[in-house]
Structure 1
């Protein structure tokens, strides 16, 4: 955008801004694409001042806004997406006020338009930023540290899934010839040993040697296992150095992965007004549909971060089935499982875990096995806080 803007709407808006300082306010909507971003600028009356398409670069966008609109940019609106965290962080570093909107909600608002184009989307986002932010959910942009932790968690999860899928494929290949690879293997080495034994047995009885085709797959499984363990060790070091994660891991069933996952999903506990909001944020609360006389409570919403929700449900499963230490929380979950079933009980317990972990974080307290000890412990910890 090295050329000077000579569009009449832009020139009229700038003349008006110079004559009336109260009118020197502009709202910007960005429809971000992988290569290019559509930019729409509106004035205080909602009229289009200028529209342009440029590279999806925070430097280019910031230079365009500073050169043509000086310090009159009131707010920049952008919908959530892959490039959103990077662009938002860089634009905020340049001094711009940026709000990130939920892409699903923005899509529903913009779907009322007959023609969907990048230009129309940018204008719709600018209009939402100017007048309708109170009706849409603003997305919190996490720090680079949290994104790094999430990347580690995602990589580990994908490696574990790929290892399990590859092992299941090998089981299927061996089963065709009557071989059986028993389950229950915790390491890639033990699975490899069982698989080779079965392939040797098939070679002796059926005269078919599967080893040239299967051994590379076993090497691949071992590589997945080694890399996943390396990531787990790094996450363990991170959790050990974080006092909040250490308090999380005092809860029976909550390990390193769940603690780090919950910490990186929330990052800032002050952005939630009520403790129950955390469970809704992670999609662990039931959906509600009400219309007229009908009121239906469905399954959990499954909104928010799926990986963290899975980790919490896994921690609840471990607490109910594998832990031996007594706690009021576990006792509540076991009684609930007898009444509504184990699967529903573990999800309800995961919701409780999210609320308890958030409370420990917010209040600076530790996990108490007995619920009766919680008020006294909370009062003690609050009394130690500096006045």
Structure 2
């Protein structure tokens, strides 16, 4: 990233954004404020139009979400956009004697940080940042689903313990059945034909249990009548279906993003490691960004936070 001649720092708020363009810390090209709308976007591009696009590097500090539309717009116009680690900007700030903080001064500090760190910035860091957000959203959904499944299992220990112990309750047929009849008590009055219709109306994993068996377990169950718990279980099952659908959407988008960013070869390389699949590989790439940022395996391990550390006190180690 050493061919850049113009460094543009941007500080963004909900209604406007401030921009500072420099050739160097000693040579400021312009400092200006623009409205956060299509007129402001176009006016900003006109300001930059006197310079070749390949010579311009535009950056902002990693915070908030107001920048997304502007950076997507600029990227579509083939401008080079990066999102800076706040620590880089803070380092520039600490060199100043006056501790002023305004939108204009923040934009200037970001421009100075771009100039200072231009040789060590990862390529495509804006795209990587968005990719990372997508991967983290997938991880958040996965954690929500895990907690929800735990709640469902706890509910069934009370509402239908015999079913929870004997079958995989997370097949679609079983979940649909529990959504309709959320307890052994409810299933006692259900027709066997109705149970069978729900169990086998959807394609999925083959069930190792019959409608007759479930009906018998319900009739012999130790579970008592808890109407409020039944309502809560139905609500959690509906939420589980929704979250699993969202997880599938996010996962597919991650895969498409990998294809668009030509990361398929990297993913296949990571998958050659035993125990690594598509999901782990995509999350790894999202968090690591450019592997060339790390000059040694030890630095990568330290960045991931999985290196062992020594704790020593007196005779204890």
Matched with 2:111 is 126
Cα distance, 1:54 vs structure 2: 1.3
Matched with 2:124 is 141
Greater relative CO, 1 or 2 (CA 8 Å, sep 6+): 2
Question: Partners in 1 of 2:311 and 2:69 — Cα distance?
Answer: 38
Q: 1:182 to 1:154 in 2, by over 3 A?
A: farther
SS at match of 2:244: helix
Q: Is the 8 A contact 2:7 2:21 kept in 1?
A: yes
Question: Partners in 1 of 2:251 and 2:56 — Cα distance?
Answer: 44
Q: 2:32 aligns with which of 52, 59, 69?
A: 52
SS at match of 2:19: strand
Question: Partners in 2 of 1:212 and 1:28 — Cα distance?
Answer: 56
Q: 1:257 aligns with which of 253, 270, 279?
A: 279
C-alpha offsets along residues 349-377 of structure 1, whole Å, 9 cap, x if unaligned? xxxxxxxxxxxxxxxxxxxxxxxxxxxxx
C-alpha offsets along residues 25-55 of structure 1, whole Å, 9 cap, x if unaligned? 8653211234421123457563766433213
Cα distance, 1:186 vs structure 2: 7.0
Determine whether 1:71 maps to 2:51: yes
Q: Is the 8 A contact 1:58 1:87 kept in 2?
A: no
Matched with 2:147 is 165
Cα distance, 1:255 vs structure 2: 1.7
C-alpha offsets along residues 92-125 of structure 1, whole Å, 9 cap, x if unaligned? 6657565542123324643775443222211222
Q: 1:206 to 1:69 in 2, by over 3 A?
A: closer
Matched with 1:348 is none
Q: Work out the number of aligned pairs and report it.
A: 262
Q: 1:99 to 1:57 in 2, by over 3 A?
A: farther
Q: 1:208 aligns with which of 226, 230, 240?
A: 226
Matched with 1:245 is 267
Q: 1:165 to 1:199 in 2, by over 3 A?
A: farther
Q: 1:110 aligns with which of 93, 104, 123?
A: 93
Cα distance, 1:218 vs structure 2: 1.6
Matched with 1:373 is none
Question: Partners in 2 of 1:174 and 1:133 — Cα distance?
Answer: 56
Cα distance, 1:214 vs structure 2: 2.5
Question: Partners in 1 of 2:50 and 2:90 — Cα distance?
Answer: 30
Q: 2:238 aligns with which of 197, 219, 226?
A: 219
What runs of 5+ residues in structure 2 fail to find an aligned partner? 187-217
| Alignment TM-score, normalising by the size of structure 2 | 0.57
